[in-house]
Structure 1
Amino acid sequence: MSLVLVSGRSGSGKSVALNAMEDHGYFCVDNLPVSLLPALLEKVHHNHADIAVAIDARNAAEELAQFDQIFDQLKAEFRQPHIVFIDADENTLLKRYSETRRRHPLTDEGMSLNEAIDRERERLSSIAMRADLLIDTTNMSSNALRELIQQRVLSHRKNSVDILFESFGYKNGVPVDADYVFDARCLPNPYWDLQLRPFSGKDEAIQAFFQNQDRASEFIWQVRVFLETWLPRFEQDNRSYLTIAIGCTGGQHRSVYVAEQLAAYFRQTHPQTQVRHRDLRS
């Protein structure tokens, strides 16, 4: 039996994630009171079903206050549960609510929408702190979120850290859901070669450029050594997901090349290793 707890602020995409898991055969329960979670699992675990449960701020405050105690109990009685926490920045959540005209669950307590979104973050902080996987949907479509859930959660192998190498451009901000961030702006930039500028780090021309750069080889080697040193510690700690972000100025050349090279290397020992290019132009 696999147990996945899905949480996050309202409007972040929890329903999309839960629907994707239901389509994949998970037994899904939305808006379950925290105190009922042990009873639910006791009821269904004999069926060996994969279970996904959404727990969020629709729970009463006194229910959420029990989460740490109940989660520790689940860890002792069941196979290591996973927590997926989905979020977005405040402006995005406000925009989504204005577009859908839905009511925020905490506005019933006399708060404004802005106050409710901020208070929701506080109420869910203990769950977010325990999350195995953080997903920021600020710039993500529903289809992209479904695809990410498919890649990182539904295809996750037991007893193996699921690794994602994500390239990005610093001009668009650092990914907030990354576990490690490495800055590749110290490498030579093919952008300044007008013949290379139209290509990306996935193209042969850029790959040939970096293969002649000792600094690029050394950078990749040192990141590899760091990760190879610490990956076993993550696995010993039952860590399920690890996101490594590689950044350059625009997210087109250096970060893409480095992310591709690292993913290819670690895929040999961790077949579920994936690569994502956040800012790469299609």
Structure 2
Amino acid sequence: MRLVVISGRSGSGKSTALNVLEDAGFFCIDNLPAYLLPALISETHANSSPEHERLAVCIDARNNSHSLSEFPHVMKAIPEELDTSIIYLDAADSRLIQRFSETRRKHPLSNQHTALQEAIINERRVLQPIANIADLTIDTSKLTYHELRDFINKEVAQQSNNQMTVLFQSFGFKHGSPSYADMIFDLRCLPNPHWVTSLRSQTGLDAGVREFLEGEQDVDEMLNDITAYLERWLPRFLANNRSYTTVAIGCTGGQHRSVYLADKLFQHFEEHFDHVQIRHRELE
């Protein structure tokens, strides 16, 4: 049996995530009181049926604060043999305010004495016990509705917890580093193809840029060092029952050096792990 717990701040995309899981065949329950989760699991086990083999529940700030503070203890009551993932969605405060302004919906923690901005800040505090133990945190600030659906479908709906998904993501520091990354490697000290006029419009996937970087000793040494580090420590993450590990590779613009090294790492580690993925944020 597989259990996915969806949580996060209001406006971050929890309903979208739950809808994707329902479309993928999960039995979904929204706004479940946290203290009822062990009983639900027990009942589901006792009355096992094919449609309940994959279960997704949303537990968020609509619970009372005491239930949320006790959530880590609730999770300890879940049988260890259960395939369990906790997915936490969040976004920048300004983006959440914008979304509520656009939809004109009422925030669950706002009232005549609590303004929207204060409610959004308070919500982060009350959900911190869940955020602290999440297997995967997704920052939806820059994701469109369709991008979030695609991400949930690929990374959560189809993923079994008995294997770890390793995601290599290139990015540009000038556009901000990914907040959900587990590791970030900075390549800005390496020779930059951007300053070669003929290579400026190309990417790290093109032959010209690859030939330029392959001829640089610092690039080879950086690649070897990162590879050696990950070869040692990724298995430790897997042994610690991690479901997802995101390795972010950054350069200035996210077009040349980071794309090249992320692709090289992807090619190397897809031979070591069953679930290895590649994303080039700025190229997408």
TM-score by length of 2: 0.95
Instruction: Measure the CA separation in 1 of the matches of 2:95 and 2:216.
Output: 40
Secondary structure in 2 matching 1:107: coil
Unaligned 5+ segments in structure 2 are none
Candidates 226, 229, 237, aligned match of 1:223: 226
Counterpart residue identity of residue 72, structure 2: D
Counterpart residue identity of residue 36, structure 2: L
Aligned to 2:38: 38
Q: Are 2:45 and 1:47 aligned?
A: no
Counterpart residue identity of residue 121, structure 1: R
Aligned to 1:205: 208
Measure how far apart 1:66 and its partner are. Answer: 2.2
Measure how far apart 1:158 and its partner are. Answer: 4.3
Measure how far apart 1:61 and its partner are. Answer: 1.3
Q: What does residue range 112-131 of structure 1 map to in structure 2 within 5 Å?
A: 112-131=115-134
Instruction: Measure the CA separation in 1 of the matches of 2:261 and 2:153.
Output: 24
Measure how far apart 1:231 and its partner are. Answer: 1.4
Report runs of 4+ in structure 1 exceeding 4 Å deviation.
Answer: none
Instruction: Measure the CA separation in 2 of the matches of 1:257 and 1:75.
Output: 43
Aligned to 2:17: 17
Measure how far apart 1:154 and its partner are. Answer: 2.1
Measure how far apart 1:148 and its partner are. Answer: 1.1
Counterpart residue identity of residue 261, structure 2: V
**8 Å contact 1:17–1:145 — kept in the other structure?**
yes
The total of aligned residue pairs comes to 280
Candidates 44, 61, 74, aligned match of 2:65: 61
Measure how far apart 1:44 and its partner are. Answer: 1.9
Pick closer, same or farther for the CA change 1:145–1:192 going to 2, 3 Å. Answer: same
Counterpart residue identity of residue 64, structure 1: L
**8 Å contact 1:162–1:241 — kept in the other structure?**
yes
Q: What does residue range 259-278 of structure 1 map to in structure 2 within 5 Å?
A: 259-278=262-281
Instruction: Measure the CA separation in 1 of the matches of 2:74 and 2:254.
Output: 42
Instruction: Measure the CA separation in 1 of the matches of 2:5 and 2:103.
Output: 25
Candidates 157, 160, 163, aligned match of 2:163: 160
Instruction: Measure the CA separation in 1 of the matches of 2:161 and 2:176.
Output: 33
Candidates 90, 98, 101, aligned match of 1:95: 98
Q: Are 2:172 and 1:169 aligned?
A: yes
Instruction: Measure the CA separation in 2 of the matches of 1:35 and 1:158.
Output: 23
Instruction: Measure the CA separation in 2 of the matches of 1:52 and 1:208.
Output: 47
Secondary structure in 2 matching 1:134: strand
**8 Å contact 1:163–1:242 — kept in the other structure?**
yes
**8 Å contact 1:75–1:81 — kept in the other structure?**
no
Instruction: Measure the CA separation in 2 of the matches of 1:158 and 1:113.
Output: 36
Aligned to 1:71: 75
Aligned to 1:7: 7
**8 Å contact 1:168–1:278 — kept in the other structure?**
yes
